[in-house]
């Protein structure tokens, strides 16, 4: 079969394309921006890429067009497909029919931690010898690819609540029909498609309705929104984490190991290098889901001791003149707060509790650009010693919204100016945490370059 993927360079659609290629299909695709690293990954898989959405691509005569949610009405190629009456499906619809059918699907849903928890769960099953297929919405450091088709009954998938396609406004995860479902947490996000939190809760309940009675729902007991979702109706055995009757992590012991209990009984100890309480919560969810697939908690915890994490999650991008620069995907006030808390915890463990943390934020997601969560930002950034905010393209006044931060705040709508500002104030022993869900114009590389070659005309 020949499939042509519209919007192929997105993380999810790129994963779908890779899975299709591994299944033996001929795969081509197009996108408005065809550039590395995704373009490189796809081309290495033998996938032909086309820049733009020219209707001339109909000449490829694929068996079906697989349409990503970046494509909307008015798109020239999509309009031509509709006018000719050619076959098309959404990415999740194709994935459900061609990859997930007949599989034991383990789906990871939630506002935060989906990518990391999906990678954890896939790694646990891999270490247990189950060799799962998977689709991770990021780059897991323990796997060479973000998507893999395997000859196994298990498939682990990051289950996104974003809409499916212009012709299907349900969340992607409604198509996956998991046997094991993790509901990691739930807050308001995606303000461009959801009017309020209640609308997202409805989509999560649609997911709950698809989990069979022989399945398992793993949910976070600390999320009131998830409580409301399950109160609407649940037909599947459910296990809570962050709950004494369910899965619970204790306080770190003298050697740093974290005891993990289920229904009050010790299951083992988690000892690893990942920072932050949020990652402990992610681990509890992954261990619980793996147990449903037949992996003992002790084996899961031993596997997590070797888990290296996901790119762009407190990833060190470089150190120059004693200044360490990190990259993180945080793009929601809660994610920003827990990322800062995680970095602080890492520094305390290293005996650097007095080190300065300089936080650099690009509010890039649609929700952040719209300013729907701006009032929560000052509290989420409170743990930083200095805060730098890139304001280009925002529809709200960042300086006014972040005014509670006082003289710790600097804003600019010019990237070069912001890089220079951070470089001028950073000193040996500082930790610069750069947060964006995009490329941020190469901010990390530009900052490391300026730190290595400071401008003598500026004060140190």
* Per-residue pLDDT tens digits for 297-341: 999 999 999 987 776 777 888 888 889 998 887 778 888 888 888
The CATH number covering residue 18 comes to 3.40.50.720
Pick the more confident residue, 337 or 460.
Answer: 337
What's the pLDDT at 239? Answer: 96
Shortest CA distance to 21 belongs to which of 50, 54, 46, 52? 46
Residue 457: inside a domain, yes or no? Answer: no
Q: Which helix (H) or strand (E) element contains residue 104?
A: strand 104-109
The CATH number covering residue 336 comes to 3.90.190.20
pTM of the model: 0.82
pLDDT digits (tens, 9 = 90+) for 217-228: 999 999 999 999
Encoded tokens for 129: 């010898």
Strand partners, 155: 105, 133
CA distance 300 to 181: 17
Average of pLDDT values for 356-363? Answer: 90
**Residue 120: pLDDT over 90:** yes
Pairing of strands 265-270, 258-262: antiparallel
Residues 6+ away with beta carbon under 8 Å from 392: 413, 414, 415
Residue 351: inside a domain, yes or no? Answer: yes
Residue 387: inside a domain, yes or no? Answer: yes
What's the pLDDT at 459? Answer: 47
CA distance 160 to 415: 31
Helix (H, G, I), strand (E, B) or coil at 426: coil
Helix (H, G, I), strand (E, B) or coil at 165: strand
10 Å Cβ neighbour count for 344? 19
Signed CA dihedral, 389, 117, 134, 174: sign only = negative
Domain that holds residue 46: 2-93
Q: Both ends of the chain: CA-CA distance in Å?
A: 61
Residues 191 and 293 in one domain: yes
Q: Compute the half-sphere exposure of residue 97: CA atoms within 13 Å on the CB side of its CA.
A: 7
Number of H helices, E strands in the chain: 15, 23
pLDDT digits (tens, 9 = 90+) for 370-407: 777 788 888 889 889 999 999 888 888 888 988 899 98
Residues 63 and 172 in one domain: no
Residue 309: inside a domain, yes or no? Answer: no
Domain count, the chain: 3
**Residue where one domain finishes, among candidates 35, 65, 93:** 93
CA distance 88 to 67: 7
Q: Is 446 left (phi over 0), alpha (psi -120 to 50) or beta?
A: alpha
What's the pLDDT at 99? Answer: 95
**Residue 162: pLDDT over 60:** yes
Contact 135, 159 (CB under 8 A): no
Residues 106 and 60 in one domain: no
CA distance 35 to 42: 10
Residues 448 and 352 in one domain: yes
CA distance 340 to 184: 20
CA distance 309 to 306: 9
How many residues are present in the chain?
Answer: 460
Encoded tokens for 79: 């309009």
Contact 363, 398 (CB under 8 A): yes
What share of the chain in percent tops pLDDT 90?
57
The CATH number covering residue 220 comes to 3.40.1190.10
């Amino acid at each position: 079969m020949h499939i042509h993927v519209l919007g192929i360079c997105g993380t999810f659609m790129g994963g779908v394309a890779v899975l299709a290629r591994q299944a033996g299909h001929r795969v081509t695709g197009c996108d408005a921006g065809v550039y590395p690293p995704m373009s490189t990954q796809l081309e290495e898989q033998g996938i032909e890429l086309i820049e733009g959405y020219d209707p001339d691509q109909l000449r490829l005569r694929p068996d079906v067009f697989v349409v990503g949610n970046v494509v909307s009405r008015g798109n020239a190629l999509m309009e031509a497909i509709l006018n000719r009456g050619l076959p098309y499906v959404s990415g999740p619809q194709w994935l459900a029919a061609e990859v997930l059918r007949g599989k034991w699907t383990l789906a990871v849903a939630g506002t935060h931690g989906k990518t990391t928890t999906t990678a954890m769960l896939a790694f646990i099953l891999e270490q247990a010898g189950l060799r799962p297929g998977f689709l991770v919405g990021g780059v897991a450091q323990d796997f060479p690819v973000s998507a893999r088709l395997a000859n196994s009954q298990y498939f682990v998938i990051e289950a996104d609540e974003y809409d499916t396609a212009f012709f299907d406004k349900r969340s992607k995860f409604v198509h996956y029909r998991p046997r094991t479902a993790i509901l990691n947490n739930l807050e308001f996000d995606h303000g461009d498609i959801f009017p309020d939190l209640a609308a997202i809760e409805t989509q999560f309940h649609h997911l709950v309705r698809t989990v069979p009675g022989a399945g398992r729902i793993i949910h976070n007991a600390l999320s009131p929104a998830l409580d409301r979702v399950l109160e609407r109706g649940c037909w599947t055995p459910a296990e809570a984490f962050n709950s004494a009757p369910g899965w619970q992590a204790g306080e770190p012991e003298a050697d740093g190991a974290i005891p993990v209990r289920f229904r009050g009984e010790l299951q083992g100890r988690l000892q690893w290098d990942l920072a932050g309480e949020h990652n402990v919560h992610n681990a509890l969810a992954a261990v619980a889901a793996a147990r449903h697939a037949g992996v003992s908690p002790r084996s899961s915890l031993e596997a997590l001791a070797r888990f290296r994490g996901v790119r762009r999650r407190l990833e060190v991008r470089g150190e120059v003149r004693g200044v360490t620069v990190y990259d993180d995907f945080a793009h929601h006030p809660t994610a920003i707060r827990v990322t800062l808390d995680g970095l602080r915890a890492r520094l305390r463990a290293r005996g650097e509790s007095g080190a300065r943390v300089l936080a650099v934020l690009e509010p890039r997601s649609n929700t952040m650009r719209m300013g729907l969560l701006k009032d929560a930002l000052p509290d989420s950034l409170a743990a930083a010693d200095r805060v730098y905010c890139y304001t280009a393209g925002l529809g709200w006044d960042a300086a006014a919204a972040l005014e509670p931060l006082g003289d710790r705040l600097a804003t600019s709508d010019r990237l070069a100016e912001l890089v220079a500002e951070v470089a001028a104030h950073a000193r040996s022993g500082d930790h610069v945490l750069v947060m964006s869900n995009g490329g941020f114009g190469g901010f990390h590389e530009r900052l490391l370059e300026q730190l290595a070659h400071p401008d003598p005309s500026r004060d140190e």
